[in-house]
Structure 1
Amino acid sequence: MNRTSRPSSIWRPRLAALALVCAAMPTARAQAPHRPPTRPAPAQPATKTPAPAPVLAPIDAVALPDQAPLDKQIETIRKILPQAKRVGLIYDPGEPASVAAIKQLLDLLSKSGMNPVEVTTPHEWDVGPAVRNLIGRVDLVYTIFDDKVAAQYQVVVQTCDQARIPLFTADPAQVRLGAMASLGLPGALKQAGPAAGRTAPHRPVRPERTVAGAWLYLNLDAAARQGVAVPEDVLKSAVPVNPARAANTDQTKNGLLKADGVKP
């Protein structure tokens, strides 16, 4: 062996081993499992506790507006219209006070031998169609304290006048707007004054003008338009009311009732 071949004999085994290592590296890389980059888990939304359902007061517990007892109001209607059987009721089904009043009326009308005919007014624009729906189906219409009906009361009055349907109300202020009669608590005139920004004059009540501890307010013009001849004994116990002027019929401004030249 000469000197020139000695270095190659020394490095040849090492180069062969290095070549084997390099050849094995891609294989190892190929066999390694692919692991995607780790991502943080998305945050879970906080669980919302459902709001408790509102607790609705029982119908019997809903406070009604200050008014004459409903049974006395029905008695008064029967005195004026003894032959009437079918009573039209207009109200907002979403107003608890209205629903409570209607529930009481249904029971009282049934006991008195009268049949209620209900129409509902969820919106103000439903009042006109509702009252027109009563034409030919009722002997009279009775309105309770109801904001939706009150906002369109002139429509109720005009329809009842044209169809000659007697119109009664629980709200004495609406007698001046065109309802023919209402049985109101004593002092209803004074109660209407502050709401209209005016002070009602204080007048003593004559005993003969009270009905079951209340005043019977009567609009004779409306009674005539609606085809009712008021019995003489009822006239003696009534407080005649002037109708509101056509140019100023807003019930908020004209909430004050006036006796028609007759001192109550």
Structure 2
Amino acid sequence: MSTMGKYAKRTLLCAVAATLLGTTGAAFAADTKSVAVVAIVEHPALDAIRDGARDELKAEGYEVGKNLKWEYQSAQGNTGTAAQIARKFVGDKPDAIIGIATPTAQAVAAATKSVPLVYSGVTDPVAAQLVKSWDASGTNVTGVSDKLPLDKQVALIKRVVPNAKTVGMVYNPGEANSVVVVKELEKLLPAAGLKLQTAAAPRTVDISSAANSLVGKVDVIYTNTDNNVVSAYESLVKVANDRKIPLVASDTDSVKRGAIAALGINYYDLGRQTGKVVGRILKGEKPGTIASQTSSNLELFVNTAAAAKQGVKLSDDLVKEAKTVIKE
């Protein structure tokens, strides 16, 4: 074989290889799925949902950078920004959008009736008008709620502060999930010999002043998973510590940040549960055939250091029951 013949053969082999690689690349691109994720704000619970969903999708064979395009944006607490992100994501036409927290899920729902929407971290999807009931919606929306049994929350408040008469709550009146919790507490607390005193904090900068407005009026402050409050929880903790007002949360990450106790959902596990729902959609199921879900996996966290700062001595039984005890 002549030198020219060898060169021509190598050229032909390279051309065939390039064709094969191109075909493989095209097949890979065709099989790639895309998931867009939007959260109303960044804080530990919502971040845990995002990370859990991504990890679950990887476990189910969808890996970012290989066969999964994953785009995440935070609205930084701004509902207008959430609407802009929602419209942008809908225009990209992903295989599914994950809306983390009520305001962002609502923004996506308002922007599309066709792109699959999986909400997560939404306390009451029916009250938020994302779905008409907890059954399969028949629409493009399904998801995983972080709704908690409030009777157990009231029982925890009583165990932390047995002599409490008035429960304070700082919340954003513009957040549907918080409004639902306020209304339910107003019904539940009287049966436990308690009453509710609320303080509105429509912005994160309002939290400190709202908390201070409760001083002298309440015996304990309870916080739900209100995104404004949780995103700036340290400002609430400072008031609780300075004024010796016990702080009970529904979000276990808030205990790490200075609340005395919380009986709450593991938000990373909630994210994994959300990822399973997204995986079903990526495999071909319609979101409208998947009923909304909740989590029954509750965990008790206590913070004995926070209790000391806020003037509370926790019972030995309560501390022993806790999955996690924070001592400093």
Smaller-chain TM-score bracket: 0.5 to 0.7
Report the CA distance shift for 1:98/1:145 in structure 2 as closer, same or farther (over 3 A).
Answer: same
Given the superposition, is the C-alpha separation of residues 121 and 236 from structure 1 closer, same or farther in structure 2, using an over 3 Å criterion?
same
Structure richer in helix, relative to its length: 2
Q: Which residue of the partner structure matches residue 317 of structure 2?
A: 233
Equivalent position amino acid for 1:79 in 2 = R
Residue 158 of structure 1 aligns with which residue? 238
- d(CA) in 2 for partners of 1:225 and 1:188? 27
- Identity of matched residues, %: 35
Residue 104 of structure 2 aligns with which residue? none
Aligned-pair distance for 1:237? Answer: 0.8
* One-letter amino acid matched to 1:111: A
SS of corresponding position for 2:237: helix
Tell me the distance in 2 between the aligned counterparts of 1:219 and 1:190.
Answer: 22
Rounded to whole Å, the distance in 1 between the matches of 2:271 and 2:306 is 21
Matches within 5 A, 1:26-45: none
Partners of 1:177 and 1:243 within 8 A in 2:
no
Structure 2 portions without partners, runs of 5+:
1-109, 111-123, 129-143, 274-295
Aligned residue number for residue 204 of structure 2: 124
Instruction: Specify whether residues 188 and 147 from structure 1 end up closer, same or farther in structure 2 by C-alpha distance, changes over 3 A only.
Output: closer
Equivalent residue, structure 1, for 2:177:
97
2:301 to 194, 209, 217: 217
C-alpha distance in 2 between matches for 1:68 and 1:152: 21
Residues 152/188 of structure 1: CA separation in 2 closer, same or farther (3 Å cut) = closer
* TM-score after normalising by structure 2: 0.47
Task: Report the CA distance between 1:191 and its aligned residue.
Answer: 4.6
Shift, 1:65, TM fit: 4.3
In structure 1, runs of 5+ residues without a counterpart are 1-53, 195-211, 245-264
RMSD: 2.9
Query: Could you say which structure has the larger radius of gyration?
Result: 1
How many residue pairs end up in the alignment?
A: 170
State the match for 1:71 in structure 2: 151
Residue pair 2:203, 2:228 contacting (<8 A) in 1 also? yes
**DSSP 3-state at the match of 1:175:** helix
User: Would you identify which runs of 4 or more consecutive aligned residues in structure 1 move more than 3 Å?
Assistant: 187-194, 240-244
The CA deviation string for residues 229-254 of structure 1, in whole angstroms up to 9 with x for no partner, is 0012212211334479xxxxxxxxxx
Amino acid at match of 2:207: V
Q: How far 1:189 moved relative to its partner?
A: 5.9
Bigger share in strand: 2
Higher relative contact order (CA 8 A, sep 6+): 2
Distance in 1, Cα, partners of 2:223 & 2:321: 22
